[in-house]
Amino acid sequence: MKVVAVTACPTGIAHTYMAQEAIEKECKKRGYEVQVETQGSMGIENELEQDTIDQADVLILAVAIDVEDAERFEEKIDSGKSLSVEPGEMIKYPAKYIDQAEKL
């Protein structure tokens, strides 16, 4: 399974990177390909290419703010292949949310 994700919180410091780590760790444990874009005080890091987004099986948005360049993700969202979750929830329960993403 190929997973792409965006993590972002209002300050863009702790929760952004903690959510990124939680997603990457859980996906790698399951043998999934994963790429996580972070958005916060440092701007966009590890920016996802449109091809990468299009080829992914699922999009996870672990965000507490509006995503920059959100139009890149519209097709995944419109097709029901996206999951939105608060960054703090992803940090606490990564397995739960990856399980939900598998069912999309």
Catalytic residues: 9
Cα 21 to its chain centre, rounded Å, is: 11
Structure tokens at 9: 């919180």
Q: String of b and e for 38-48 (b: at least 16 CB within 10 Å)?
A: bbbeeeeeeeb
Q: Which two tokens stand for residue 37?
A: 């874009």
